[in-house]
Amino acid sequence: MYLNISPFRLYKTLAPRQRSGRNSMAPKPTKNKTPSVDPNGIFTGMSVFLVENGVQNRRLQIWKQKLVQMGATIEERLSKKVTHVFAMDLEALLQQIDRERLARFKGPSLPYSPPDLNKNITEIFGKLINIYRALGDDRRSFSYYKAIPVIEKLPFKIESMEQVKGLPGIGKSMLDHIQEIITTGKLSKLEHFETDEKVRTISLFGEVWGIGPATALKLYEKGHRTLDDLKNEDTLTNSQKIGLKYFDDIKTRIPRHEAQEMELLLQKVGEDILPGVIILCGGSYRRGKASCGDLDVVITHPDGKSHIGFLSRYVKRLKDMKFLREDLVFTNHSEEVT
Q: What is the mean pLDDT of residues 48-59?
A: 81
Tell me which range, 94-98, 110-114, 321-325, is most confidently predicted by mean pLDDT: 321-325
State the total domains in the chain: 3
Based on the residue annotation, tell me whether 307 is a catalytic residue of this protein: no
The predicted structure's pLDDT at residue 50? 85
The predicted structure's pLDDT at residue 167? 87
Parent domain of 170: 119-250
Q: Do residues 136 and 228 share a domain?
A: yes
Position 186 confidence tier, pLDDT thresholds 50, 70, 90: very high
The predicted structure's pLDDT at residue 244? 93
- Average per-residue pLDDT for the chain: 79
The predicted structure's pLDDT at residue 229? 94
Is pTM beyond 0.85? Reply is: no
CATH code at 301?
A: 3.30.460.10
Query: Which one from 84, 177, 301, 307 is the annotated catalytic residue?
Result: 177
Query: Could you tell me which of 260, 158, 257, 243 has the C-alpha nearest to residue 208?
Result: 243
Q: Do residues 276 and 213 share a domain?
A: no
Q: Do residues 142 and 91 share a domain?
A: no
Query: pLDDT by residue (tens digit) across 231-258?
Result: 989 999 999 999 999 999 988 988 888 9
Q: Do residues 90 and 125 share a domain?
A: no
Choosing from 61, 76, 111, the residue where a domain stops is: 111
